[in-house]
Amino acid sequence: MKSNNLFAHLKSDVASGLVVFLVALPLCLGIALASGAPLFAGIIAGIVGGIVVGALSQSHISVSGPAAGLTAIVFVAIADLGYESFLVAVILAGAMQLILGFVKAGTISNYFPSNVIEGMLAGIGVIIFIQQIPLALGSDVEIGSGLAIFTDIFAAFLDIQPGILIITVASLAVLITWQKTPALKKLKLVPGALVAVLLGIFINGLFIATNSSFAVGADYLVNLPVPKSIEEFKGIFVSPSYEAVFNPGVWIVAVTITIVASIETLLCIEATERLDPLKRFVNTNVELKAQGVGNMISGVLGGLPMTSVVVRSSANANSGAKTKMSAIIHGFLLLICVLSIPMILNLIPMATLAAILLTIGYKLANPATIKHFWDRGKYQFVPFIATMLAVVFLGLLNGVALGMIISVIFILRGNIKKAYFFRKEEYSSGDVIHVDLAQEVSFLNKAAIKLTLNKLPDNSKVIINAFDTVYIAQDVLDLIHEFKMVNAKERGIKVVLVGFKDAYRLDNDIDANNKVYIDKNLLSEEKISQLFNN
């Protein structure tokens, strides 16, 4: 398909790759700093995540790199093992992920309901937004965890540097103007993030040229190593201490990284499927293999462990990426820039990069999303809001776990006595395929339905029948709707939906005259033929 051709959308992919590069650069450095690792280790993980994982992955929107969710694990591991031994754990974790991909462990992502995934995204958005506040103000306060977040934010507002605040406000003004002005928004090759970066450099250069007290010091600018010779460049890399493979502590760290990184990746892939405007199917087993190869290479080169990352992926989608070429381009940009122009990159104020992340955090935790789930009722809203708040105050995995527990409790409470079955009649070429939904269809049935829809033959005719169904989870409705409106059209499949009730009505649950719902007794061969011909 054209949408899968890496060179079919090069214009938009180059622009989005540039934006993701601008977002990834401070994240790579910041995560390395928070992990207690060499700063260049974060860049290595970003380059490998972009070029290697980007090339091997089937996801066209997801972007991989060092992840904030691993910082606590990595920090403790480096302190306990030493960095050289820690790199061996990263290599082993990559090998374990590769094995998980071959044993098809990736399908677990299909069992996470949309309200939990959206809650996770919103929670990450809040965290991103909060963590950028000190950088945006020029404060040295570090945002803690739990309830300490509130006191740390208050302290940050008491420690403001006027020059940094001016750059932040100017950068935000550019980013918001670019988003709100249709003519500017269409300039994909001149993204607002790039303009904001150039403006930030210009404003600080003006401060410096006029000897203003507002000038931003080196501590608040991007800080990449600047090697002056080949030997200095080689010295940036750290080699693993392979004899550490016999250390039991290394294996414990490796297993921990494998579990956390794999779950974060699968959750991100599930989330980015929703961000993809073309709603393309991603084989999560292939993704685990790609992540495994990437982590093994990153460990060998002295880099941090990586996952598919929501921040980069959402920036990629919002910037108009169409294929995974965008992720690959961002990886090459990281490589080229750190090799050729590190001194120029070191002129970028961190305040400008913080402004970019502030806008990304707001988009992920958009109040409109919260209202959307509120309007869906308590069975959708409670797991969503619980996940969002728990991710912020308890951590990513704890938040997702709590959201899943609440979702399962709600499902069991309302459907403990209900059975589910999924049936597809035998068919041959030219026949109409009947997909009958049972009385209760929960998010737990999403994986089976998704697999069945993706295995339907191209250019076929399909009737999805919900006459006997009294409840369908919103996840399944979204899946059916996206299949009908996007995937089925691309594959030449004609889809008719019948029997859907008012409470979960889909667009074409109507007769040929667009007046009344189709009655079960009218579903004759003549009626079926008429439906597919209209």
Q: Are residues 406 and 459 in the same domain?
A: no
Mean pLDDT, all residues of the chain = 82
Q: Give the confidence band of 330 by pLDDT, cuts at 50, 70, 90.
A: very high
Residues 404, 466: one domain? no
DSSP assignment string, 115-150? HHHHHHHHHHHHHHHHHHHHHHHT--PPP-STTHHH
Handedness of CA 205, 211, 213, 217 (dihedral sign): positive
| CB atoms closer than 10 angstroms to residue 20 | 34
Same domain? 279 vs 312: yes
CATH number of the domain enclosing 502: 3.30.750.24
- CA-nearest of 338, 261, 319 to 28 is 338
391 with 525, same domain? no
- Domain span holding position 411: 367-415
Residue 173 is predicted with a pLDDT of 94
Task: Please report which confidence band the pLDDT of residue 316 belongs to, taking 50, 70 and 90 as the band edges.
Answer: confident
Q: Indicate if 51 and 109 belong to the same structural domain.
A: yes
Q: Residue 470 — pLDDT band, cuts 50, 70, 90?
A: confident
pLDDT level of residue 326 (50, 70, 90 thresholds)? very high
Does 468 lie in the same domain as 509? yes
Provide the 10 A C-beta neighbour count for residue 284: 24
Higher pLDDT, 45 or 409: 45
- Please give the average per-residue pLDDT across 269-277, as a whole number: 79
98-102, 335-339, 438-442, 488-492: least confident range: 438-442
Q: Evaluate whether 111 touches 408 at the Cβ level (below 8 Å).
A: no
Same structural domain, 209 and 340: yes
Question: Total structural domains in the chain?
Answer: 3
Q: What sign has the CA pseudo-torsion 107, 111, 114, 118?
A: negative
> In this structure, are 399 and 383 located in the same domain?
yes
Query: Residue holding tokens 């420690």?
Result: 159
Residues 355 and 411 in one domain: no
Question: pLDDT tens across 359-379, in order?
Answer: 878 888 889 889 988 988 888
pLDDT of residue 420: 39
Q: Say whether both 334 and 381 belong to one domain.
A: no
- Co-location of 247 and 353 in the same domain: yes
Are 70 and 187 part of one and the same domain?
A: yes
* Token pair for 465: 């029948």
Decide: pTM greater than 0.75. no
